[in-house]
């Protein structure tokens, strides 16, 4: 199983919003310990809208979280394995800007689509009257 964690606002504090791609803040309180704890039982994917995935890896490695960017992982796998590959490693995290297959998504801006259906989702997004 895989747990997908958003980077900005969940792991990286992101107190000033987008600053031209600079990763400027320390981690959210408890984030690094939580990532390590999750890695001990499940695979972890860190997802982001950022294009510089290597910068995210550098930031995580500075906090002793071993990781690989999507580009690095793609290069590690033979071409034939590309199609239905799922991240399932526990020794390092995958950093991607693609939507990963996961059991759980933790995102500071997420809305859950659940029992209330579209009516509830529209209210949760503040789009319905």
CATH of the domain at 50: 3.40.50.1000
Position 45 in a domain:
yes
Q: How many domains does the chain have?
A: 1
* pLDDT of res. 17: 93
Task: Kindly report the pTM of this predicted structure.
Answer: 0.89
CB atoms within 10 A of CB 94: 25
Position 46 in a domain:
yes
* pLDDT of res. 26: 97
Position 129 in a domain:
no
Domain enclosing residue 55, as ranges: 2-124
Position 72 in a domain:
yes
Q: To the nearest 10°, the Cα dihedral for 96, 101, 104, 106?
A: 20
pLDDT digit of tens for each residue in the chain (129 aa)?
Answer: 899 999 999 999 999 999 999 999 999 999 999 999 999 999 999 999 999 999 999 999 999 999 999 999 988 886 665 555 689 999 999 999 999 999 999 999 999 998 889 999 888 888 745
């Amino acid at each position: 199983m895989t747990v997908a964690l958003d980077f900005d606002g969940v792991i990286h504090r992101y107190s000033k919003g987008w600053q031209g791609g600079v990763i400027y803040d320390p981690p959210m309180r408890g984030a690094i310990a939580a990532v390590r704890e999750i890695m001990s039982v499940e695979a972890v994917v860190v997802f982001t809208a950022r294009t510089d995935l290597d910068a995210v890896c550098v930031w995580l490695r500075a906090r002793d979280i071993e990781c690989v960017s999507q580009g690095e992982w793609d290069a590690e796998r033979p071409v034939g394995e590309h199609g239905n590959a799922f991240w399932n490693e526990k020794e390092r995290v995958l950093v991607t800007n693609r939507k990963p297959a996961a059991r759980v998504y933790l995102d500071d801006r997420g809305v859950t689509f659940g029992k209330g259906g579209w009516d509830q989702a529209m209210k949760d997004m503040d789009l319905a009257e």
